Chains A and B, each alone.
Chain A
Amino acid sequence: MKKFWALLLTAAMMVCVLAGCGGKDSESDNAQGGSAGTENQGGGSGAGDSGEDATPELDMSKTVKIGILVSDATSAEALAFRTYYTEYIQKQYNVELIYSDELADAAGEAAAIDTFITNNCKAVISFSSFDRAAQIEQCEGVGVYYAVATGTLTEDEYETYKGYEHYVGAIGPSLSVEFETGYNMAKHYLDQGVKNFAIFGGAIPYYTEMHIYRAAGMLTAMIDAGGDGANYQGATDMGGVLGQIFADGEVKTGAIGDVNVLGYVGGYDMDDAWFGKCAQMAQTADLEVILAVGNGSDFFGTAIAGTNVKIASVDAYASSYGEAMEAGMLDYLAGKFSASIGPIFIATYRAALGSPIRTADGNAFALSQGYWVASSAEEFNTYYAVDSSVDAPAYTKEMLDTLLTADYAAFESFVSKYSFEEIQGM
């Protein structure tokens, strides 16, 4: 009797194991159907058909796990990026994207990468920048591909890591693009004859480079428009202004020729004193425009209600900004578009599949991307409709599939055409 039960149990276990294997196969098959298309899945979707012709050398039959490091899980920008990856990319490609918790420091980044490695992730896309160098070293050490999304390495870091086998590269607004963004924002108003500004410095007190460069761009535009002898604390060019902000850890108020910086608030303290400072700045006499290096309307919107003060921000395309624009509180938005992280995904995916994109001299790439600028509610709505779509986002699967076999030159050309009109024309 015992033998009978032992045999029955063994048989049952065998059936379970085989059934499990069968399930895995069918699941894998299903995944293939939804992927870019593979050689052994000829009868897939239209997209799969094109993928079959375009990507003969890439075996996309197996689900690739990619870890996503995030230090911000709540901003409009971070949420838009996450929606694009989880609601679009993950459904179009045979990938599993595993998100980290909201990271607060370099130790958290290291722990999250360890978790990714334990989860058999083949690559990491990082939106977190507490210690990029340590992240790259950690991934290189275990043979996991690593890419930087919506950011760049410093020149020194790039020189150090560009030759690393597992460092894929970075795509994001370079610091010169950040400078240009601030410059263009201020110039937009200076060209209209605006003379009295206030600046919201966001993370300048924490020495966040992108915010410092944006503010430097604003001040440089004011120097250029301020007439003879205009200067910011003695500085007359980009380098001088940058040096001054880095030295002070803030933007100083005062006259720049015949242009005035009437107020400045930095940081994100969010306490009573900070909100008091924001309200005070927004209600400064003669103020015309608040230039924000980050989100401006959320912090100053109510304070300027009923006045003619305008707000210009740098952030992402979120519905709340649309409402603020309709209500006349937000006047100008330089926003990242959510699909801008599509190309870095393709580059990372390709690397994980064994076909990394390298520059002509065999190094990791460092490419720059800019913002979509909306200066009216109509413009905002046009951009937002595309940016918030999870069915037809700015970079669709068909567009991204062209990168699966692209060489570096074609990849670079694709990334460099980031304006709304250029993307729509692709």
Chain B
Amino acid sequence: MKTKNKNIFKQIAGTAAIPAAAFLIVLILCSARGVKLFETEGNWILFFRAAASVMLTTFALSLNLNSGRFDFSIGSVSLLSSVISASICTSLGLPTIPMLIISIAAGAVLGMVSGLIYVIVKLPPIIVSLGVALFYEGLAFAITNGYGVSFVANTELTSFPSVLNYVLIILFGLLIFIFLFDHTKFGYEYKALVSGQKVAINTGIKEVPNAILCYTIAGALMGVVGFIRATQTGTIQMSLNFGSIGVMFTAFLPMFIGGFIGRFCNEKIGYLLGAITTAFISLMYARLNVDASIQQIVTALILVCFLIYLNNENKVIELVTLKQYRNKKTK
């Protein structure tokens, strides 16, 4: 019984440690400057928007990256799907929900095309995804004649940002993702392929349809991210020459954090908690008006320190254990 309780405690502590520590640090830093972390509704909206978009981006990135497929095109899928949905909705006068649905559908199709190109041309995924990123960026540019899409004055489409809407996106996104990857045949096959591709293929699992489906799901997720970003300001700015790749990098820190937390709970919940951790940091940057250059340095330092810890975890544990042993011995 004691061991069971100890395990449950260890799981809860391991799951909550990083986001709780991040929250405490952020709270202390804000208090030291006399700033309330959550002062207005706008602060809550920023927090949940950041958590939602980073969580979905992390899902989309990890989905292919765990299988060894580095996908640089997810940012461009997000850009192009939002351009398609916003262009259709502004020209037909459609409201928010159809825009979200069109964005998801467009993202899924674009992701599927990306996956098909990968399995057909059989080039390394990095090269394919770079080509696809350039192609989609160019397509978005061509569709809008370079002007992007602006619907700042469309109060219907720009009314989406609210705490409730972002919480709903987080919940639905998480539940659907958990269902797809933990409770379907596709999910089991995906896990089998991730853990041992050759063995999985020998058991009859088809790698190609699984890969295409992964790209399609990642595309649909990025469609939602594109929708969130577009409805945030009512404008979609164009990106060229790999300008859309930056979106992908927002997901690295939460992905590593999620991977760590995944030892204590479901990995997908780990990704959500990773996204929440980065959302706390983003909110702190905004509340304390931190300069962009300092933000970059701090974020890079956190990422590097975390990776150093992950790579040397055994040595750290060994050191701590050795110290405890010596202390006991001295006593």
List chain A positions with a Cβ less than 8 A from chain B: 73-74, 76, 78-79, 82, 101-102, 104, 205, 267, 269-277, 279-280, 283, 297-299, 301-303, 305, 318-320, 323-324, 326-327, 329
Contacts and interface: CB of A to CB of B under 8 A. Distances in A.
A327 B287 CA distance: 30
B162 interface: no
Given A297-B152, A320-B147, A102 B282 contact: no
Contact of A324 (B153, B241, B287, B292): B153
22 contacts: A79-B146, A79-B147, A82-B146, A102-B241, A270-B237, A271-B250, A271-B282, A272-B50, A272-B53, A272-B286, A273-B283, A273-B290, A275-B233, A283-B42, A298-B234, A301-B153, A305-B155, A320-B147, A320-B235, A323-B150, A324-B150, A327-B153
A301 B234 contact: yes
A267 B285 CA distance: 14
Given A74-B141, A272-B282, 6 more contacts: A73-B146, A276-B43, A280-B42, A280-B287, A301-B153, A326-B153
B46 interface: yes
A298 B151 CA distance: 9
A305 B234 CA distance: 11
A78 B158 CA distance: 26
Interface string B267-310: 00000000000010011011101111101000000000000000
Contact of B46 (A73, A272, A297, A324): A272
A68 to B, nearest CB: 15
B114 to A, nearest CB: 23
Nearest to B233: A302
B148 interface: yes
Contacts of B283: 273, 276
B152 A279 contact: no
B86 to A, nearest CB: 12
Most chain A CB atoms below 10 A, which of B49, B279, B292? B292
Contacts of A104: 241
A324 B152 CA distance: 7
Contact of B145 (A79, A101, A205, A302): A79
A319 B232 CA distance: 20
A208 to B, nearest CB: 14
A298 B235 contact: yes
Contact of A276 (B150, B282, B293): B282
Nearest to A274: B292
B49 A272 contact: yes
